[in-house]
Structure 1
């Protein structure tokens, strides 16, 4: 039996209906894994409720979200209803990055806030595909509680995404039938401001009809915080690395293999204060070294499954899944590994529409 079962879920319909199906599927995990077993989220939820529930600032984040992307707020409403939670509880969790933590939080909360992921961007060579590969890292409590969701929405392209309980898909890794692939890395710059939460921005990209549209979403001036986004487009073979904190957006076309962990790397942000964890720095250095030494000749997994640094997390933070997307002009072939010894838990092909 798998040590990290990942369930496959299918949903279709309008935004609320899709959210409701997702909420129902994660209801028990949401109650047990998020609020009971998960020290980080349990403590954080108490902090969020005490300091931010009903606050004008939270209302401003909700208003900005509804003005920019009402459809994805509607999905959150569906998730809350399906999971048997009130909307504000679920919306608070979607605003964790935007609601600053007070001094004196526990080490468990501080460590988890610093947790992140590792992504690889590998341009095409010859007739081969471009590749985006990714380790999705998170709390150990989420092992066995995550989903691979495949959605046929009433509007926009069909899309698929890995997701953790109770959260909008998009903030992990996913793709759509326009041939757009996205993987996400956490960053921790000190530039928060009122606006649209990054979870909603990431969800919006899953419904983009191409790479240029996705980049325009990330260039919005009304983002409240941000992520690092790895984006690829099948039909053109373009790969871009996008650092998008609230205060700016820098897009790099990728011409040679590169890695990205959980801190800003681009010189344009040298003056922006950020928190860089030891893990992020070590994973970045190790991945860069392995790429330079030719490890990718054995596939992206040769880097992402490294347990010496480790790049593959197996401790208080855990790699929840590893994904590899191969982008051809007419299709994206993808596979998801539950663990190094549990490969190809899911795999498939999306034809570019």
Structure 2
């Protein structure tokens, strides 16, 4: 069977759509994005991270083993991605486990949500300046699975930023640095498995069931549902909070799990202070976009190593998404169209360059 990769340009946003069987699709994606994958690996802060694994080789191999055993599909995806790109698998594995090895991997991302009428969910994707212009929308249409759209850093499992699925699931993820990682699966692998859920309740169940070496905070919703759910995950610990009304926010430290589990940077605390003082008399998508692109928007200045590369706001009532790429014009589309790779609905045409992937029989 043949996998295909199609590249589209929607205003100022790159959008890559991949279709086909799992391993063939990821091998084709790796081949197509090989140059960008190498750029990302070279631009990672504190790269190479092999020194971290070298300090704790038993922990590193325990995390790898748990990732492979508990999340075999995601592990196969990363393996195929490395093969397609022609880069050593351990390089991609180490990059994906940067936040699982007990070392600071940056304090990236802010999530803001409003539960009410309308219900809104917003995410700032923060990353290294080296990633500016390389990150893009990626839609995965893997045979037999729900469609998934994410903001993708080439070389990473497509799971650590924000997620939109054809089941109407929407969430953003904030990185949290844990003090003592557990010998569990890598957090990117857990997050990738959760993307197959058919409902918000099922996604939360997945996060409860699977342990995670590092820490993630998920701000989650579902198109057509007014509630917002926040899940904090580290090791075997899970905290779930349902927000029935009003503002919810999260930066890069735990708010529900014990504070002894993580480290809270001054930068994360400063954004938290901004979020805690936000007020909204009549919140809508425009208000949430403004909140995310002002006080908590980052510019890799004044000692801050990271910048906000994109902002995503989803109106859960209407299912409408507003995506603001750094330095670019907003893109507005339906969440389900992005997750389904419905190019005609998003762009008004079938334009886009088609790049065939390698054949795979099965």
TM over 0.5: yes
Compute the displacement of 1:66 (Å): 2.1
Compute the displacement of 1:239 (Å): 1.4
Of 118, 135, 154, which aligns to 2:110?
Answer: 118
Contact between 1:138 and 1:317, CA under 8 Å: does it hold in 2? Answer: yes
Superposition pairs of residues 174-253 of structure 1, within 5 angstroms: 174-220=163-209, 222-253=211-242
Give unmatched runs, 5+ long, in structure 1: 102-109
Q: Aligned equivalents of 2:159 and 2:204: distance in 1?
A: 15
Q: Aligned equivalents of 2:137 and 2:323: distance in 1?
A: 9
Compute the displacement of 1:57 (Å): 3.3
Q: TM-score if structure 2 supplies the norm length?
A: 0.82
Compute the displacement of 1:32 (Å): 2.5
Compute the displacement of 1:19 (Å): 1.7
Q: Which moved more, 1:175-184 or 1:292-301?
A: 292-301
Q: Aligned equivalents of 2:63 and 2:178: distance in 1?
A: 18
Of 266, 275, 296, which aligns to 2:263?
Answer: 275
Of 50, 65, 72, which aligns to 1:70?
Answer: 72
Q: Aligned equivalents of 2:81 and 2:46: distance in 1?
A: 18
Q: Which moved more, 1:170-179 or 1:58-67?
A: 58-67
Superposition pairs of residues 17-32 of structure 1, within 5 angstroms: 17-32=24-39
Q: Aligned equivalents of 1:139 and 1:279: distance in 2?
A: 15
Compute the displacement of 1:273 (Å): 4.0
Contact between 1:66 and 1:73, CA under 8 Å: does it hold in 2? Answer: yes
Q: Tell me what 1:12 maps to.
A: 19
Compute the displacement of 1:124 (Å): 3.1
Structure-2 change in CA distance of 1:314 and 1:25 (3 Å): farther
Secondary structure, counterpart of 2:255 in structure 1: coil
Asked if 1:322 corresponds to 2:311, the answer is: yes
Secondary structure, counterpart of 1:207 in structure 2: coil
Compute the displacement of 1:34 (Å): 2.5
Q: Aligned equivalents of 1:248 and 1:7: distance in 2?
A: 37
Structure with a larger share of its residues in strand: 2
Give unmatched runs, 5+ long, in structure 2: 1-8, 341-362
Contact between 1:5 and 1:145, CA under 8 Å: does it hold in 2? Answer: no
Q: Aligned equivalents of 2:90 and 2:222: distance in 1?
A: 35
Of 34, 38, 48, which aligns to 2:41?
Answer: 34
RMSD of aligned residue pairs (Cα, Å): 2.5
Q: Which moved more, 1:238-247 or 1:56-65?
A: 56-65
Q: Tell me what 2:360 maps to.
A: none
Compute the displacement of 1:264 (Å): 0.8
Asked if 1:171 corresponds to 2:175, the answer is: no
Q: Aligned equivalents of 2:138 and 2:36: distance in 1?
A: 15
Give the number of aligned pairs.
Answer: 324
Q: Aligned equivalents of 2:203 and 2:78: distance in 1?
A: 21
Compute the displacement of 1:296 (Å): 4.1
Asked if 1:263 corresponds to 2:253, the answer is: yes
Contact between 1:191 and 1:245, CA under 8 Å: does it hold in 2? Answer: no
Q: TM-score if structure 1 supplies the norm length?
A: 0.84
Structure-2 change in CA distance of 1:195 and 1:273 (3 Å): closer
Q: Tell me what 1:105 maps to.
A: none
Q: Tell me what 1:337 maps to.
A: 324
Asked if 1:313 corresponds to 2:298, the answer is: yes
Contact between 1:121 and 1:254, CA under 8 Å: does it hold in 2? Answer: no
Compute the displacement of 1:225 (Å): 2.2
Contact between 1:262 and 1:280, CA under 8 Å: does it hold in 2? Answer: yes
Q: Aligned equivalents of 1:346 and 1:26: distance in 2?
A: 25
